[in-house]
A and B are shown apart, each in its own frame.
Chain A
Amino acid sequence: AQTVTQSQPEMSVQEAETVTLSCTYDTSENNYYLFWYKQPPSRQMILVIRQEAYKQQNATENRFSVNFQKAAKSFSLKISDSQLGDTAMYFCAFRGGATNKLIFGTGTLLAVQP
């Protein structure tokens, strides 16, 4: 069975600084996808970034980038130039096999301090 682990329940960062959120996963699948979702206080789940396992190049989306280490089964999210609007719960998610099912980690609550 696939599992996703986020070992940092809470993190804090100063505005304009960089922060990295950790995520590890376990799977026997070869073809899978990894995602980071953001859930602000409004509770709307927003896709931040995705990574296809077959791609070696790390995904980037503006200030958000990932460090995908397939052999180590690690998928961390780096947020550069943190902004107050980045304050949210961040979930790492896995999707693999013959299913559209997302398996989520327990989340990391990120607070950006002014």
Chain B
Amino acid sequence: KAGVTQTPRYLIKTRGQQVTLSCSPISGHRSVSWYQQTPGQGLQFLFEYFSETQRNKGNFPGRFSGRQFSNSRSEMNVSTLELGDSALYLCASSLRGGPSSYEQYFGPGTRLTVT
């Protein structure tokens, strides 16, 4: 079974631009979560989607948004990019969302650099 895939793997953008990152979960997984990883702040939760609905959101400004499609694929969008948005963005999928014992499996990440 294929793992979690993220596209693109690397991205360079300029301040003020917007960016869209894509995540395809493991087949059959319906929950997708997004995390931001930076050297200064570590790993921080962005949001979780389950059955096309956002279930939980981390403490990020409204410039960060996401959505999930009927096939469970998810996208996250960052508008008006700032230098501080440079980070590794990780997507994780699990069979179900909510209080379950199902593990989350991570994709390889998208490395975003804002100049």
Binding site for B on A (CB under 8 A): 31, 33, 35, 37, 42-47, 50, 52, 91, 96-107
B64 touches A (CB below 8 Å): no
Known: A33-B101, A101-B48. 18 other contacts (CB 8 A): A43-B109, A45-B106, A45-B109, A47-B103, A50-B103, A52-B101, A96-B99, A97-B99, A98-B98, A99-B55, A100-B33, A100-B50, A100-B55, A100-B98, A100-B104, A101-B45, A102-B35, A102-B92
Given known A-B contacts A43-B88, A44-B108, A47-B103, A99 and B48 have beta carbons under 8 A apart: yes
- Of residues 54 to 102 in B, which have CB atoms within 8 Å of A's CB atoms? 55-56, 58, 88, 90, 92, 94, 97-101
Interface class of chain B by DSSP: strand
What is the total number of residues of chain B having a CB less than 8 Å from a CB of chain A? Answer: 27
Interface class of chain A by DSSP: loop
In the complex, A96 Cα to B101 Cα: how many Å? 10
Q: Which chain A positions have C-beta within 8 A of B43?
A: 91, 102, 104
In the complex, A46 Cα to B50 Cα: how many Å? 22
In the complex, A103 Cα to B41 Cα: how many Å? 12
